[in-house]
Amino acid sequence: MIYQKIKGNFIHKTAVIDWKNLQIGKNNKIGPYVVIGGDAQHPRKKSIGKIYIGNNNIINEYCNIHLPTSKKKKTFIGDSNYIMNSTTIDHDCCLEDNIILSSNVILGGNVHIMKGAQLGIRTIIHQNQIIGSYSMIGMGSLITKNKIITPGYVFYGKPVRKVKVNNVALKRKKISKEKIKNEIIRFKKLIKNK
C-alpha cells in the first residue's frame, strides 16, 4: 500500500479526491480507491457546496463520499470516525464524532448520525433519518422512513426495531444517564428542525 502525505493526511495513491471542493483537517487516513467529491446522487438537484472532513478519521477502501446539493447544507464528517470498506455517504449527510460505519453501509441523502453510534455490516438507511448517539444498529438492518432511532439503544431487523438498551457500549464509553438525557434532548431538537 502506497500512501502519500498530503496536507497532513495519509492518502492512498489510488484515491480520487476533488480537492477544490474539500475542506479537510489533519491525521486522516484515506484508503485505496476512495472517492471523495463525486456528484450528489440526486435526480433533480445539482452538486453545490463542499465536503468537510475533520481530524483523525479512517476511511477505508472503496468508500464514496458525495457532494452536497445546497450551499446552505454540507456533507460533513467530524472527528475520529472509523469508516469501513465500500461504504456510501450520500449528499448532505452529517456524521458527528467517534462513529463506526461497518463494511457496505449505505446512507441515503441528508442522514444525520449523532456521536458514538455504531452501524453494523450492510446497514441501509433511508434518506432524511437521524441516528441517535451511542446507538448500535445490528448488521443487515434496514432503517426505513419513519423509524425513530433513539440515543443509547440497540436496533436490529428489516425494518429495524428497538431491541434493548445499549448497556455494553454505554458502560465501555462511561456514558452517564445524565449524558444520555442530554443527548435525547438534542436528538429531539434535530428531529424538530429536520
Cis check for the bond before 159: say yes or no (omega within 30 of 0). Answer: yes
Q: Compute how many other C-beta atoms are within 10 angstroms of the C-beta atom of residue 97.
A: 18
Contact 95, 115 (CB under 8 A): no
Residue 71: in which H helix or E strand, if any?
none
Burial of 116 (C-beta count, 10 Å sphere; 0-12/13-18/19+): buried
Domain extent listing, the chain: 3-193
What pLDDT tens digit does each residue of the chain (194 aa) get? 699 999 999 999 999 999 999 999 999 999 999 999 999 999 899 999 999 999 999 999 999 999 999 878 899 999 999 999 999 999 999 999 999 999 999 999 999 999 999 999 999 999 999 999 999 999 999 999 999 999 999 999 999 999 999 999 999 999 999 999 999 999 999 999 88
pTM strictly above 0.85: yes
The topology (CATH level 3) of 3-193 is: UDP N-Acetylglucosamine Acyltransferase; domain 1 (2.160.10)
Q: Which residues contact 169 (CB under 8 A, 6 or more apart)?
A: 116, 118, 134, 136, 175
